[in-house]
Amino acid sequence: GVAGRLLLGVGAPVVAAVVWGMFAAPRARFRPPLVGVLVVKAVVLGCGVYAVHAVGHSVAAVFFGVVVVVNTGLAETFRRRAVPESAV
């Protein structure tokens, strides 16, 4: 019904933002190992890709999925290579 759709439409992004902020954000309160961070990112962003597909935009979902994978891979690679400010 309408209430379920409203709850899903508002609740899902709120839950995703809270989970991202707790585990995947650069200043996350809990910082799991790289594998844990990547799992959180895959689940949150994968749900977004699935949502695009679920509304009937399969080509856009594939494109979005590829962009998510490439962007996340590059971001984590460059973040790990960055020189800490204390070493400069």
Q: Tell me the C-alpha distance between 32 and 38, whole Å.
A: 9
Assess contact for 30 and 22: CB atoms under 8 A: yes
| Mean pLDDT (whole number) for 10-25 | 93
Q: For residue 82, what is the DSSP state?
A: S
pLDDT at 85 over 70: no
Q: For residue 75, what are its two tokens? A: 């971001």
Q: How do residues 19-31 score in pLDDT, each as one tens digit?
A: 999 999 888 999 8
Whole-number average pLDDT of the chain = 89
pTM: 0.76
Residue 62: name the closest of 76, 75, 44, 46 by CA.
Answer: 46
